[in-house]
Chain A
Amino acid sequence: MKQKVYLYRAFERFWHWSQALIIFFLALSGFEIHGSFSFLGYQSAVKYHNMAAYALVILIIFAIFWHLATGEWKQYVPTAKNIKAQINYYLLGIFKNAPHPTRKTVLSKLNPLQRLVYLGFKILIIPTMVLSGLLYMFYRYPQNGSIEGLNIESIKTIALFHTAGAFILVAFVIVHLYLITTGTTITSNLKAMVTGYEELEDTTKSQLESKNEVISAEVNNE
């Protein structure tokens, strides 16, 4: 029994797609600044990279607020349960048309691998990029000022962190784009992130349960 479920709310979709767009542009302009290719022209690349960076920071601030306010942050609490099954699915089951090992519900939209990877994305990659990016922009100020303790010898370390993060992000996006196609159908994941709705297995039972019970049940299982 399938049922259409409202999985991704308006803000979540807006946040996801504008973040995707901004990160794509940041990568494009960023690797030009890094010297990998010429496209926008160096001066424009720097200028618009910086503007896009501010836009991303603002977006992230709103997203953090949204996650806290709605409790959606709990979606990213990692779990060891079913991780092995999920890995097995991607490595073997998927080729045999085996069913997904975990069930997608409104309260648990992410499979255990997604939880882990997105959490890493949120607490490691993004902070690394934002922090090193802001230092990249502002590192000259302390050096030109009079507070010796704040002086940074060279932009080198900052730049290397920023570049390393960028490479990881690009790899993440490649895999992420591919994994879109591994939903119930090839396009079901994409449709869900565009419209917000996805046809899921009937979850009437779990929908009846209160949020707290589900969470505590999961915790107990761990």
Chain B
Amino acid sequence: MKKIVISLVLIGLIIISIISFVSPKETKQSKLNELKAELSKKTTPSVDHSKFPILQKKIGSPQEVTEACISCHNGRAQEVMQSNHWNWEREEFIKGRGVVYLGKKNAINNFCIGVEGNELSCAKCHIGLGMTSSSTYSYTDSKNIDCLVCHDNTETYAKAPEKGGAPDQTLDFSFIAQHVGKPKRSNCGVCHFLGGGGNNVKHGDLETALFEPSKETDIHMASSGMNLGCTECHKTEKHLISGKMYSLSSMNRNRATCEECHTDNPHSETVLNQHTYKVACQTCHIPVYAKVNATKLDWDWSTAGKLKDGQPYEEDDKDGNHTYLSIKGNFKWGKNLKPDYIWFNGTASHYLLGDKVNDTTKALVINPLNGSYNDRNSKIIPVKIHRAKQPFDPVNRILIQPKLYAEKPGEGALWKDFNWQRASEVGMKEVNLPFSGKVSFIRTEMYWPINHMVSSKEKTVQCNECHSRDNSRLAGLKDFYMPARDFSPVIETAGTGIIFFAFAGVLIHGVIRIISTRKRKMKV
């Protein structure tokens, strides 16, 4: 009987260990291989645009290209004109604020602050041609759509600086139009890598190194790897592109997610799959960002306007990053950065032009990302926090939208006249907001979710980088109990206390026993 029981126990233990070692790994591996096979398929364009007579003619302007495009691709212009790339706004519901048409017209950031009044310069990143003012611009004239900025496959098309989004007129439009296709990295990257006035300034995880990244930089986009383009993940239907940045959006919708391809339980270890309830993929799989070039972390506008011999000047660090520009102030940069971590449920709020700031003792968060441990939809995500000191009207208690760019001096633009007073006065007038005549500076923060520069699985964040007493990556998230990081001081003290007393007790008892035994023996 007892032999049977013993062997049953042993067999049970062995079976359990075998099951837990062997079981689910194979299926996960084949899922990844399926994905690789799927994404390796080469697609060939269905037509050769260079054969179309309409594109073989001499084309003198980008508007003519657009007309030629629309003449075949009818209906597409209407799709484009529905998109936020064109309208520069989205219809969003913001809790506590209601429905807002959120976009570059009413949002502020803490980089170049805002586009209003500065369109000639900023519209270089608008998919339209010739925007001089975002409020008077015709969003219904399809001729103004810039098809080429997204569909040029020659990498020769480029918008001219300070021309409201128009290209250099000397380009060979016929040649470019004959070589159009699905957007490549270069099409997206020219705006999304260089936003904010330079490479990697804004995002930290989107920069020119992603044109041809190594596997260390980005496992998905690596030239020697799967070499995925932007649109493989940012799937696009009828010119509506999935994925968006929470600097200009508020609702939990139309997000491009890892789970679409990888499912929400991609690990072979159950305990790792359980982490996905509360931890976003990016949190572990993007251990560092700004892997190749530095990203901007701090922008102090308050020092802008200093001149040397009446002339604006710049100072650079050893990597060539600007640390001071007369037109913009002081900057701090960072490279190979560990992200900050926050709870995020997919919804954000926004500081909009004209909002009153009541508390200036702590930094104003321009795009608070909502979430908490107790919110079922929240997950921990990695973010870059961009800090700034930006102009503020202390009497009206609103952030100032300064006039930054003008074609010539004397119009009040900061970048030409270097006068905050005047730039604020002109800027606020253009956005129809009051200005008291006083300019001060307040600290602001912006949160930039980190989604790109995914590392290989070997380089992921290890358990003890978060589950640790000291230097936990999640040290800042205090609204929940995490094993290894957290403990109860009472239980810890009491626990070590009883262990100590138990140990000391048996030690003393043992010593007395030895001594008393010896004494007895000596007596004998």
Contact = CB atoms under 8 A, between A and B. Distances in A.
Q: Are A and B bound to each other?
A: yes
Interface of A: 9-11, 14, 18, 33-35, 38, 41-43, 46-47, 50-51, 54-55, 58-59, 62, 66, 90, 94-97, 140, 143-144, 153-156, 159-160, 163-164, 166-168, 170-172, 174-175, 177-178, 181
A66 B9 contact: no
Contacts of B512: 95
Interface of B: 2-3, 5-6, 8-9, 12-13, 16-17, 20, 269, 271, 274, 277, 373-374, 376, 462-464, 467-469, 480-481, 483-488, 491-492, 494-496, 498-499, 501-503, 505-506, 509-510, 512-513, 516-517, 520
B16 A54 contact: yes
A178 B509 CA distance: 9
B484 A35 contact: yes
Contact of B467 (A18, A42, A55): A42
Say what secondary structure dominates the interface of chain B. Answer: helix
Contacts of A9: 2
Say what secondary structure dominates the interface of chain A. Answer: helix
A36 B331 CA distance: 41
A164 B491 contact: yes
B467 A175 contact: no
A11 B2 contact: yes
A59 B12 CA distance: 10
B459 to A, nearest CB: 15
B261 to A, nearest CB: 21
Given A47-B269, A55-B16, A58-B12, A34 B483 contact: yes
B502 A160 contact: no
Given A43-B463, A175-B505, A175-B506, A167 B481 contact: no
Contacts of B506: 174-175, 177-178
A38 B470 CA distance: 12
B495 A163 contact: yes
Contact of B463 (A42, A55, A59): A42
Given A154-B481, A160-B491, A163-B495, A11 B5 contact: yes
A62 to B, nearest CB: 6
B484 A33 contact: yes
A167 B464 contact: no
Contacts of B373: 154
Contacts of B520: 97
A159 B271 CA distance: 16
B153 to A, nearest CB: 45
B271 A50 contact: yes
A155 B238 CA distance: 46
A58 B75 CA distance: 67
Given A33-B483, A43-B462, A55-B16, 12 more contacts: A11-B2, A34-B483, A34-B484, A43-B269, A47-B269, A95-B512, A97-B517, A140-B277, A155-B480, A159-B486, A171-B502, A181-B510
B2 A167 contact: no
A42 B491 contact: no
